[in-house]
Amino acid sequence: MSATVVLVPILISAWPTLAASVVSVAASAGFTVVLDKNVARKSRRTVEIDMENMEAVGEALSHDDKIVVERAGARVTFSRDARGRFRTCVDGELDEDELRKIGEDLAGRVIQQYLYRRLTQELSDSGFVTLEEDKAADETIRLHVRRHQD
Amino acid sequence: MESHDLEIEITKDGKVRAKVVGAKGKGCLDYVKLLEQIVGKVQAQELTSEYYEPDSRVQIDTAVRGKQQQ
């Protein structure tokens, strides 16, 4: 081994790319996409999840810049604000800690999925071949790639 | 011909830990730079004995950042 690094993600992505990761991860976690995104709901708590270093870029805001998914009393809204920041809000009748846990878990998985796609694509473009990949019990994705150098 | 390996872990909260294996000398830092361009910023880095051996020759097209918004 010649170096070990720990990296924290800085994601600057087109909204459609992030949206694809959101839909994919939400479906695999048992959430369904809410089609009528603007229906207000009464008597519900709302928690905003801190999403540092994430920006969703695009030419202009549109009605599609929001995805709402729902599971067992918790509704998670992924959106980008006017400044392009990627936002995650959770609302529901559960207590605040439970809502935060649901939101952080789902947002983390979205980032994980996004990074997996990006790493495999970019490393492949840089000449790496995937030797092995798996998912550990704690849901960490492990990826082993190799490239030959003359 | 040398083999250079990357062993990468992506945790479920979106952190990335990577080991560069087989690239000797400062050549391994080219891979660290590549990972930085793909993922984000380096939070911690540890160099091991191979880093202090004569350099591996590494050529990487590092035009990754420009493709990020696609």
Give per-residue pLDDT as tens, A55-77: 666 555 455 578 899 998 899 99
CB pairs under 8 A between A and B: 173
Under 8 Å between Cβ of B33 and B21: no
Helical residues (DSSP H) of B13-55, grouped into ranges: 27-39
Comparing A61 with A126, the larger pLDDT belongs to: A126
Comparing A2 with A1, the larger pLDDT belongs to: A2
Query: How does pLDDT run across B12-34, given as a tens digit for each residue?
Result: 988 899 999 988 877 788 899 99
Is the ipTM higher than 0.90? The answer is no
> pLDDT value at position B67?
55
| Cα nearest neighbour of A131 on chain B | B5
Query: How does pLDDT run across A77-122, given as a tens digit for each residue?
Result: 988 777 777 888 999 988 899 999 999 999 999 889 989 989 999 9
Comparing A129 with A37, the larger pLDDT belongs to: A129
What residue segments make up the domains of chain A, in order of their start?
2-146
Under 8 Å between Cβ of B21 and B9: no
CB < 8 Å to A140, chain B: 9-12
The answer to whether B7 contacts A142, with C-beta atoms less than 8 Å apart, is yes
> pLDDT grade, residue A38 (50/70/90)?
low
Q: At residue B46, does pLDDT exceed 50?
A: yes
Q: Is A71 helix (H, G, I), strand (E, B) or coil?
A: strand
Q: At residue B69, does pLDDT exceed 50?
A: no
> pLDDT value at position B70?
47
| Mean pLDDT for chain A overall | 84
Token couple for A118: 């990006």
| Cα nearest neighbour of B31 on chain A | A3
Residue A134: strand pairing partners: A142
> pLDDT value at position A42?
60
Core vs surface per residue A110-141: b (16+ CB within 10 A) or e: bbbbbbbebbbebbeebebeeeeeeeeeeebb
Under 8 Å between Cβ of A66 and A79: yes
Q: At residue B45, does pLDDT exceed 80?
A: yes
CB < 8 Å to B31, chain A: 3
Instruction: Give how far A31 is from chain B: nearest CA, Å.
Output: 17
User: What's the pTM?
Assistant: 0.82
Find the mean pLDDT for residues A133-149. 94
